[in-house]
Amino acid sequence: MGSMTESSIRSLRIGIVTDSLYERVADGEVRIANGGVGVYIYQLVRHLFAANEDQEYFLIRFGRGLLDIYQHPRARNIFLPATKIDRARALLGGPYASAAREHNLDLVHFPNLLGGESLPSWVKQVSTLQDLTPLLFPSFHPRHRALADRILTRRALRRSDRIILPSRATARDMVEGRFAPASRCVRIPHGVNPIFRPISTTADFTARYQTDRPFILSVGVLEPRKNHLILLDVLRELHRQGHYLELIIIGRPGWRWTNPLTIQKYQDLRPWVRILADVPDSDLVEFYNRAELFVYPSFYEGFGLPILEAMACGTPVIASNTSSMPEVGGPAALFADPRNSQEFVTQALRILQSKDLRQHLIDAGIRHARQFTWQAAAEATLAVYQSVCKTSPNPARHDPQS
């Protein structure tokens, strides 16, 4: 993007749709209830508030938001009625269009893509497409959702002035699939929360989670796309070769999740496998720090944020060699075919049997993860807002009666 002088950039009224940032209350604390999408929206908003004092930000969602971003002094909240009819209308953008008119917005950002095609023509639309699984791998989603996403995603992409994608791989899939032209696509990588860092382990944690054996860790929504079953095959083979590790899987249950411990084939591994659905971030940091290995065998990712979180905590990473994961892990991770458990076993044995390789991956991973910050993501996103709005200002903003 070309450089812009401060005089050429006016203050913008920016709407950010935060419906895809799910919330839950646990132990009296409001937490993010979904995975990478929720983290992305939350961190983007927080860092946009800090990045520039001139813009006005309107957080748009159905129902009242409880997370701290809605209490921020810079947040102007638009809490829409959360009726089933209103939520259905949102798929085509009706409630968002009304909010844009009422609050005279210059731009609306959909951080999870859907819902903007009814915006007034003068309101710019920026959309973030986290990944292309509904379009490329519909079998990983409920049939009705995959069909709706195929229709609505294409329509939303056509309406978007810019489409933010978190990785080169996702951008390439977008252009090669002819879902949108390269001229409207912008790659902005996700960041890593600074809480993910090397820390000292605590006795309290050991007592609460009974973590007295070395373990492999995997983090992510529990659904078929994440390919968790292969982890149990890897675990069994490592046991056969004398490496008696546990397997800890952390994630909330998703679509078509079948607990592998209910499958007859894996009954012998029950004492060695734990699945935890509700872990606060502070404990997740310690899980990463304690893990012997972090293994991420997903079939497809638009980015793969847990790869960087593990690296930032000094944990050696083995990830799938597909989609965005080689790009995100870069030279600081090892990779394997998500359809070949033996490749994951081979890479795990390399780390378990070589202290030098293990230390190299730890040091390289920490350095690599430092390159990804939410501040940089927010500043790049703000530059997209400014660039799009500069091309064609909102005429209502120049109306003396507005």
User: What would the pLDDT profile of 344-389 be if each residue is shown by its tens digit?
Assistant: 999 999 999 999 999 999 999 999 999 999 999 999 999 999 999 9
Distance CA 301, CA 324 (A): 6
Give the pLDDT band of residue 4 (cuts 50, 70, 90).
very low
Strands 162-165 and 185-187: parallel
Residue 86 is predicted with a pLDDT of 81
Residue 61 backbone phi and psi in degrees, to 5: -160, 160
| Lowest mean per-residue pLDDT among 203-207, 240-244, 256-260, 358-362 | 256-260
| Dihedral angle over CA of 258, 259, 261, 262, nearest 10 | -50
Distance CA 79, CA 67 (A): 13
Domains of the chain: 6-191+373-394 (3.40.50.2000), 203-369 (3.40.50.2000)
Residue 34 is predicted with a pLDDT of 80
Residue 155 is predicted with a pLDDT of 81
Q: Is the dihedral of CA 298, 303, 306, 307 positive or negative?
A: positive
Q: Considering the chain, what is the average pLDDT of its residues? A: 90
Count of C-beta atoms within a 10 Å radius of residue 398 = 8
Which tokens hold the place of 172? 């390439």
Which tokens hold the place of 134? 């509904």
More confident residue, 244 or 150: 244
What percentage of the chain exceeds 70 in pLDDT? 91
Q: What angle in degrees, to the nearest 10, is found between the helix axes of 229-240 and 341-353? A: 50
**What are the pLDDT digits (tens) for 264-308?**
999 999 999 999 987 888 999 999 999 999 999 999 999 999 999
